[in-house]
Amino acid sequence: MLIQADAAADSMLDHPFDLSRLGDAAVEGLVGTTIGPYKLLQRIGEGGFGVVYMAEQEQSIRRKVALKIIKPGMASSEVISRFEAERQALAMMDHPNIAKVLDGGTTDTGHPYFAMELVNGVAITTYCDENRLSTRQRLQLFTHVCRAVQHAHHKGVIHRDLKPSNVMITLHDGRPVPKVIDFGVAKALHQRLTERTLFTRYGQMVGTPQYMSPEQAEMSGLDVDTRSDIYSLGVLLYELVTGCTPVDATTFRDAGFDAMRKMICEVDAMKPSTRVRTLDNITA
């Protein structure tokens, strides 16, 4: 629902609004409204339970930020717990290759939001391919990603959804700098990230299938540890070097939930040497 009349816009700004009651069409309608000291300029991203806007801070310091709020209609207690956990996880970290949290607060209706460093960039795989980077150059960028993930692990946080779209490349003085983003499904190792309990319910798989470790896909009730992120980094490295993931996304496309989990846990990846046997296969 777009806000067209001045009166309607004033009403939205002057009175508390409940984000959880808005439909998907209302996400764009929030553009132009204000949350805390931030004016929403445009929607730039959307995840499982959050929406990210480019916003401008209008008080104290004028700057553009990425402002994340809970997606309309999804403000359940578990989603709020996950959202607060992501905010706290990012606040604990201080690394040049992890997007920084700048501020946080709650809306007038009590829903959390946080402002992050605005990362203007593209996915690491897209950047490497479009700029025709050599294998050595790709590995140099990947090394920075590994150090960022190691920093998160040292802070007791597992990302659990490492994939190209969560590793952005931005330019600083003309040089590519990786930024790990979206700790929306992050998990604490040794400490609580929030006073509320963060958990994964049975039957709810967290992560992206192509990059997910078998342990994470099993959902056996046993906690995953840092090795799950290391597995995902291995898949990302494989994709950076070969141009595809070990198990292609199309394999999962038509699979049911149980079949997908079984493939992740049991199916061996095809060796690169067997993907194309002859030049005839390429030209066929």
Provide the residue count of the chain. Answer: 284
Gap between the Cα atoms of 153 and 92, Å rounded: 11
Gap between the Cα atoms of 52 and 66, Å rounded: 6
For 139-174, the pLDDT digits (tens) are 999 999 999 999 999 988 888 889 999 999 999 999
> Greater confidence, 173 or 8?
173
Give this prediction's pTM. 0.71
Domain count, the chain: 2
Give the orientation angle of helix 135-154 with respect to helix 226-242, to 10 degrees. Answer: 170
Question: What value does the CA radius of gyration of the chain take, rounded to a whole number of Å?
Answer: 21
Question: Does residue 262 share a domain with residue 142?
Answer: yes
Of the residues 86, 116, 146, the one at which a domain ends = 116
Residue 275 has pLDDT above 70, yes or no: no
Of the residues 79, 100, 116, the one at which a domain ends = 116
Residues pairing with 177 in the sheet: 170
Q: What is the mean pLDDT of residues 91-116?
A: 87
- Residues with Cβ within 8 Å of residue 19, at least 6 apart in sequence: 30, 69, 70, 72, 75, 107, 109, 111
Q: Which domain holds residue 247?
A: 122-275
Average per-residue pLDDT for the chain: 75
Question: For the ranges 89-103, 105-119, 195-209, which has the lowest average pLDDT?
Answer: 195-209
Question: Does residue 205 share a domain with residue 129?
Answer: yes
> Greater confidence, 191 or 50?
50
| pLDDT at 283 (0 to 100) | 36
- Core vs surface per residue 214-244: b (16+ CB within 10 A) or e: ebbbbbeeeebebebbebbbebbebbbeeee
Gap between the Cα atoms of 162 and 216, Å rounded: 12
The winner for highest mean pLDDT among 2-16, 85-99, 229-243, 269-283 is 229-243
Question: Does residue 245 share a domain with residue 127?
Answer: yes
* Residues involved in catalysis: 161
Please give the full DSSP string across 180-191, using - where no structure is assigned.
E---TT-EESSS
Of the residues 116, 150, 165, the one at which a domain ends = 116
Question: Does residue 268 share a domain with residue 130?
Answer: yes
| pLDDT at 267 (0 to 100) | 62
* CATH code where residue 164 lies: 1.10.510.10
| pLDDT at 77 (0 to 100) | 81
Residue 263 has pLDDT above 60, yes or no: yes
| pLDDT at 108 (0 to 100) | 77
> Greater confidence, 215 or 165?
165
- Residues with Cβ within 8 Å of residue 124, at least 6 apart in sequence: 141, 142, 145, 164, 167, 168, 169, 178, 236, 240
Question: Does residue 15 share a domain with residue 104?
Answer: yes
Question: Does residue 137 share a domain with residue 77?
Answer: no
| pLDDT at 5 (0 to 100) | 39
For 220-257, the pLDDT digits (tens) are 545 678 888 999 999 999 999 999 888 776 665 555 55
Helix (H) or strand (E) holding 177: strand 175-180
Residue 99 has pLDDT above 80, yes or no: yes
| pLDDT at 13 (0 to 100) | 34
Question: Does residue 23 share a domain with residue 136?
Answer: no
Q: Does residue 284 form part of some domain? A: no
